[in-house]
Amino acid sequence: MRDYTASEFLADLAGTGIAKTVYVQANWAPNWFEDEVAWLQDQTDEYGTISGIVGYAYFTGDIVQQLDRLKKYPLMRGIRQQFHWHDNPLYRFAKDPDLCRHPQIQANVAKLADYGWSFDLQVFSGQMAGAADLARACPDVAFILQHAGMKEDLRDAWHAAWFEAMKRLADCPNVVTKLSAFGTFIHRNDPDFIAQMVTDTEALFGADRCIYGSNFPIEKLWTSYLQLSTPSRTPPRRCPGKSRRQFSMPRPPVSIVFEGGQRMALQIHVLDYGDIELKTSFLVLGHECGRTRRVPVYGFLITGGNIPCWSIRGIATTRSWRAWACGGCNFMTT
């Protein structure tokens, strides 16, 4: 074990075009939570690279006293206490898998709104139902999901479980996600795996709720920062040779015209989980005014063979338009 300094980090950033970074707490001793932030503030004054700090606080303790000690540091932007728990002890951090549902933790996380700070949410897919409960209990707090939900198993069945769990968090409007740490469990920089994760995560959250991040310097064990950041700037493509397939709506995209002349383009992403699985075998994205949003589906999709077939009949009613304004649209696929 050795220190990883700001000067080394700047050297690792060379050639990436990255000028500023946000520091996320790195598990100093809990009683040193303020010392970590104070040291980082000094590092920023010297090197000028850090634009924000996500510090640590213990949410089963006196949270206001801790937050008040941190608020004097200008770069403070949020808090992380890691809640991730796993059956595999090597992946386990928290002692309790259900911390997100503890009433005291929910009440304490809600207090972050008084400081204008976010909460960095770190859970595995099996904990995401509880994490969604936490997000709903704190509607005025912005939650940043770490590492796109930390998908730790590459098998198709686990991908399906991760995807279903991620839907719960994507349904919470105060949750965004980091596209980060995709090599943490496979110990390599795999462009195809990154492409699949970026594509599927963006399909759930939309591009405006996805942010780039890294797990550096841990990832320095198997890659450089330049190699790490390059796939994130490459347009996603479907991973070859995967039994789970994703299809996009052929061009031109289908659109629905509503009363008043409003038009919304629709794009279907079909996930090959079976022949007919309402709401789980496909996603519909709505594109309007430069924004992409997931559209709730009321209807059916019937697939057959390798390529699914569909048609869309839009229901152009005032009721449909109000539903789209809230993130939904009524239509049927057959």
pLDDT digits (tens, 9 = 90+) for 62-85: 999 999 999 999 999 999 999 997
In a domain? residue 268: yes
Residues 326, 189 within the same domain: no
Residues 180, 254 within the same domain: no
Average pLDDT score over residue span 216-241 = 72
Residues 135, 272 within the same domain: no
Flag whether pLDDT at 146 surpasses 70. Answer: yes
Residues 122, 208 within the same domain: yes
Report the alpha-carbon distance of residue 236 to residue 277 in Å, rounded. 25
Flag whether pLDDT at 283 surpasses 90. Answer: no
Return the minimum-mean-pLDDT range out of 39-53, 155-169, 259-273. 259-273
Tokens 């912005």 appear where? 142
In a domain? residue 20: yes
Report the alpha-carbon distance of residue 144 to residue 135 in Å, rounded. 10
Residues 264, 327 within the same domain: yes
CATH of the domain at 107: 3.20.20.140
Residues 295, 193 within the same domain: no
In a domain? residue 241: no
Structure confidence at residue 194 (pLDDT): 86
Tokens 């996009």 appear where? 248
282-288 vs 118-121, strand pairing mode: unpaired
Closest CA to 167 of 123, 125, 115, 136: 125
Flag whether pLDDT at 99 surpasses 60. Answer: yes
Give residue-wise pLDDT tens across range 180-201. Answer: 998 888 888 888 888 888 899 9
In a domain? residue 133: yes
- Name the residue with higher pLDDT: 262 or 313: 262
Q: Supply angle C-alpha 63, 66, 72, rounded to 5.
A: 135
Structure confidence at residue 272 (pLDDT): 43
Flag whether pLDDT at 10 surpasses 70. Answer: yes
Domain count of the fold of the chain:
2
Structure confidence at residue 131 (pLDDT): 97
Average pLDDT score over residue span 98-115 = 96
Whether a cis peptide bond, with omega within 30° of 0, leads into 296 is no
- Name the residue with higher pLDDT: 319 or 1: 1
- Looking at the DSSP bridge assignments, the partners of residue 288 are 291
Flag whether pLDDT at 246 surpasses 90. Answer: no
Residues 260, 227 within the same domain: no
**Which structural domain, as residue segments, surrounds residue 226?**
6-232
Whether a cis peptide bond, with omega within 30° of 0, leads into 97 is no
Average pLDDT score over residue span 83-104 = 89
Residues 93, 157 within the same domain: yes
Report the alpha-carbon distance of residue 156 to residue 144 in Å, rounded. 26
In a domain? residue 238: no
CB 85 within 8 A of CB 92: yes
Residues 206, 256 within the same domain: no
Residues 114, 187 within the same domain: yes
Whether a cis peptide bond, with omega within 30° of 0, leads into 252 is yes
Structure confidence at residue 94 (pLDDT): 83
Q: For the full predicted model, state whether its pTM sits above 0.85.
A: no
Structure confidence at residue 136 (pLDDT): 97
CB 142 within 8 A of CB 101: no
Q: For all residues of the chain together, what is the average pLDDT?
A: 77
Residues 136, 275 within the same domain: no
